[in-house]
């Protein structure tokens, strides 16, 4: 058996990354339930859910959406423009910085909040059904460690790129 065959066999094994991807895909397919009735795409539904739930506790800005969903500025801009066009959000200038726009849910969007919360609770019940709390805690701890590993790797890559760019600029 050559090394390519071994790689191909490993490629089809159930790895943590593959399992997380499959789980994420299934969650996206099953929720949020509001998408079809409201005419929202899945990502618009997720962004609106984030805005609704987060704005109840603090101000929300476009950069928050970019960070939460790991998307670039043009993508976030397009999603927010569509939500604004559908009458679900407003963007208002901030007194201290006119370039900064606070994102606010409209009354129409706020009317969806209870349905969104119920959808989250139902999905979490389905997701964790018949799993003992001890196993859920261990799973959450492991997933958080994996997330931190990837965030550190991402940060290292950015730091390396910045250093490389500085070296190029010094020539």
Query: pLDDT of 139-148, one tens digit each?
Result: 999 999 999 9
**Do 112 and 144 sit in the same domain of this protein?**
no
User: 102 phi and psi, to 5 degrees?
Assistant: -80, 140
Q: Is 55 contained in some domain? A: yes
**Do 99 and 140 sit in the same domain of this protein?**
no
**Do 98 and 74 sit in the same domain of this protein?**
yes
**Do 76 and 144 sit in the same domain of this protein?**
no
**Do 111 and 158 sit in the same domain of this protein?**
no
Nearest 10 degrees: Cα torsion 8, 10, 13, 18:
-90
Q: What is the pLDDT of residue 50?
A: 94
Q: Is 171 contained in some domain? A: no
Report the relative pairing of strands 97-105 and 89-94 from DSSP bridges.
antiparallel
Domain count across the chain:
2
Q: Is 149 contained in some domain? A: yes
**Do 160 and 84 sit in the same domain of this protein?**
no
Q: Is 4 contained in some domain? A: no
**Do 104 and 156 sit in the same domain of this protein?**
no
- The answer to which of 29-33, 34-38, 68-72, 116-120 has the lowest mean pLDDT is 34-38
Interval 34-43 mean pLDDT: 68
**Do 67 and 113 sit in the same domain of this protein?**
yes
What range does the domain containing 85 cover? 32-130
CA distance 127 to 61: 30
**Do 90 and 60 sit in the same domain of this protein?**
yes
Q: Is 10 contained in some domain? A: no
**Do 58 and 77 sit in the same domain of this protein?**
yes
User: Mean pLDDT for the chain?
Assistant: 84
**Do 51 and 119 sit in the same domain of this protein?**
yes
């Amino acid at each position: 058996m050559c090394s390519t065959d071994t790689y191909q066999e490993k490629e089809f094994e159930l790895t943590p990354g593959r399992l997380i991807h499959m789980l994420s895909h299934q969650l996206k397919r099953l929720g949020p339930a509001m998408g079809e009735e409201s005419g929202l795409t899945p990502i618009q539904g997720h962004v609106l859910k984030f805005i609704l739930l987060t704005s109840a506790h603090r101000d929300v800005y476009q950069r928050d959406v970019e960070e939460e969903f790991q998307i670039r500025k043009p993508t976030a801009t397009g999603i927010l423009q569509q939500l604004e066009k559908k009458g679900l959000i407003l963007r208002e200038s901030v007194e201290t910085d006119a370039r900064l726009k606070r994102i606010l849910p409209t009354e129409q969007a706020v009317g969806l909040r209870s349905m969104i919360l119920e959808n989250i609770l139902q999905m979490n019940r389905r997701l964790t059904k018949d799993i003992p709390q001890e196993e859920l805690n261990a799973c959450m701890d492991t997933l958080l460690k994996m997330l931190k590993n990837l965030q550190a790797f991402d940060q290292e890559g950015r730091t390396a790129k910045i250093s490389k760019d500085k070296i190029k600029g010094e020539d």
